[in-house]
Amino acid sequence: MEHDIRRPGRCDRLISIIDQGLRAVAGGPQAILGTGRPLPLPPPDTNALPAVALDAAARREAAGLMRVNHAGEVAAQALYHGQAMVARDPAVREFLLRAAREEGDHLAWCERRLAALGARTSLLNPLWYAGAFGIGALAGLAGDRLSLGFITETERQVEGHLTEHLGRLPPADTASRAVLEQMRSDEARHGLDARTRGGAALPPPLPRLMRAVSRVMTRTAYWA
């Protein structure tokens, strides 16, 4: 007896992505689809202070930065999901979904750090997800090479953004620092992987537009 085995179609992928989007926006750390990597921890010889030991100003700054990074990871999930849904090459689609799962680890880590800091996630996360999903789908529809190039440029900008945050993070918050350093390493690898898979250089206006959109999100998510 023959079994009816078919590959998932676009409708199946859309249902799966809607599920993943709901998990990313409202599911909490346990519901997020990641790879299961543990929360990065500072080296044992550092004089790390628990979040409650940070003074009010330091805790507020750390919380604002981690809220921005959490919102960025919500957007990263959406970008990868949107691109994966319309990817033409199954190998490119699998690369995007694998990277999204690693970004899922980042999302869970940021959410755990926010909880430890006694802070909330951005109230605008559904907006960040919806907007980034649309941008990702448009990038994917431009073709796999441009879609991969979009990943390369996105991760290059995110790497710089994380470096800036590491410079602003209160020195005592070594727990958040360990998370951001691992995230930066992963983002650099994702960008390199996308480039080596054939990512094309983006037209000059696009990186500038991407930076402008990113500034709006980061400045808003810090407070909201």
Pairwise CA distance, residues 23 & 18, whole Å: 9
- Residue 23's CATH number: 1.20.1260.10
Which has more confidence, 184 or 54? Answer: 184
pTM of the predicted structure, to 2 decimals: 0.87
Q: Is residue 113 part of a domain?
A: yes
Q: What are the tens digits of pLDDT across the range 160-216?
A: 999 999 999 999 999 999 999 999 999 999 999 999 999 999 998 999 999 999 999
Pairwise CA distance, residues 127 & 148, whole Å: 24
Tell me how far CA of residue 69 lies from CA of 58, 65, 139, 140, in angstroms. Answer: 17, 6, 22, 24
Grade residue 36 by pLDDT with cuts at 50, 70 and 90.
Answer: confident
Q: Is residue 203 part of a domain?
A: yes
Tell me how far CA of residue 151 lies from CA of 53, 66, 111, 116, in angstroms. Answer: 38, 22, 23, 31
Q: Is residue 5 part of a domain?
A: no
Q: How many residues does the chain have?
A: 224
Q: What is the mean pLDDT of the chain?
A: 88
How much of the chain, in percent, has pLDDT values that exceed 90? 77
Q: Is residue 212 part of a domain?
A: yes
Containing structural domain, residue 108: 10-36+69-223
Crossing angle of helices 56-86/144-168, nearest 10°?
170
Q: Is residue 82 part of a domain?
A: yes
Grade residue 2 by pLDDT with cuts at 50, 70 and 90.
Answer: very low
Q: Is residue 146 part of a domain?
A: yes
Q: Is residue 154 part of a domain?
A: yes
Q: Is residue 58 part of a domain?
A: no
What value, to the nearest 5°, has the Cα angle with vertex 147 and ends 145 and 151? 115
Q: How many Cα atoms occupy the beta-carbon half-sphere of 171 within 13 Å? A: 2
Structural domain count of the chain: 1
Sign of the torsion angle spanned by Cα atoms 94, 99, 105, 108: negative
Q: What are the tens digits of pLDDT across the range 101-149?
A: 999 999 999 999 999 999 999 999 999 999 999 999 999 999 999 999 9
Which has more confidence, 203 or 52? Answer: 203
Q: pLDDT at residue 69 above 50?
A: yes
Q: pLDDT at residue 4 above 50?
A: no
Q: pLDDT at residue 28 above 80?
A: no
